[in-house]
Amino acid sequence: MLSLTPEDIQAILLSLKVALTATLLSLPLGFAVAWVMVFRSFRGKVVLEVLVNLPLTLPPVVIGYFLLLLLGRNGWAGKFLDAWGIPFIFTWKAAVIASATVGFPLLVRSIRLGMESIDRQLIQASRSLGARWFDTLVTVVLPLSIRGILAGSSLMFARSLGEFGATIIVAGNIPGLTQTIPLAIYDYASSPSSTMMALSLCLVAVVISVLVLFVHEVLSRNIEKQEAA
């Protein structure tokens, strides 16, 4: 039996909110970065690839600390936000940025793989018929990258649900405000008497992840059938 407190339900809802917001905010930039990496050649491209994939190799706590330096009151971005009266550190918005930063490489890599599978002759045919690069992007590249976008979004959403290290640094672990599922489990794990509470949240996390993967598979199969037709 699940044993969930009102704080646990808030943590679940906040996790979904953070993961969904991080994914939606990252999609346009992720698509643009993937497009540049696949279809453009320029000096410093290797540097861009390293920077995009760097969060995969850095410990999440390190990423969180860098974000804290950047977005804190003494950071240049933090000073700008503070001047506009926008609270950021130790809010759910900071958790979104942390999740987006950690999950961004997975999003870009999946979209990039989808773009690399596109037949370049289709793009050349579009351009030869007079289509501008933006028209080709919208009518050719975007539709043929849907599977990569879907895969990347699913991976990033799932990664955001499990984000812990960067989130606890920049957002803290405030019940009802910034406490997500992993942070709540961390609290319960420190108390032997809270084993069932921790297991309940673990089960919820597993169920959500399975549902995300199931929806991903269903949509992928539907897209594959449409392409085959």
What pLDDT score was predicted for residue 227? Answer: 66
Q: How far apart are CA 184 and CA 204, in angstroms?
A: 12
CA atoms within 13 A on the CB side of 87: 5
Class of domain 6-228: mainly alpha
Q: How far apart are CA 115 and CA 148, in angstroms?
A: 7
Q: How far apart are CA 226 and CA 52, in angstroms?
A: 32
Q: How far apart are CA 121 and CA 126, in angstroms?
A: 8
What pLDDT score was predicted for residue 23? Answer: 96
Domain boundaries, the chain: 6-228
Q: Digits of tens for pLDDT over the chain (229 positions)? A: 567 888 999 999 999 999 999 999 999 999 999 999 998 888 888 999 999 999 999 999 999 999 999 988 888 887 888 778 778 889 999 999 999 999 999 999 999 998 998 888 888 888 888 878 888 888 889 988 998 999 899 999 999 999 999 999 999 999 889 999 999 999 998 887 788 899 999 999 999 989 988 888 887 787 777 666 5
Residue 224 has a CB neighbour count (10 Å cut-off) of 11
What pLDDT score was predicted for residue 228? Answer: 63
Give the helix ranges, DSSP H, for the chain.
6-39, 45-57, 60-71, 76-83, 92-116, 120-128, 133-136, 142-144, 146-161, 165-170, 181-189, 195-228
What pLDDT score was predicted for residue 139? Answer: 87
Q: How far apart are CA 145 and CA 141, in angstroms?
A: 6
Q: Give CA angle at 23 (83, 45), nearest 5°.
A: 85
What pLDDT score was predicted for residue 78? Answer: 79
Task: Give the position of tokens 């550190």.
Answer: 89
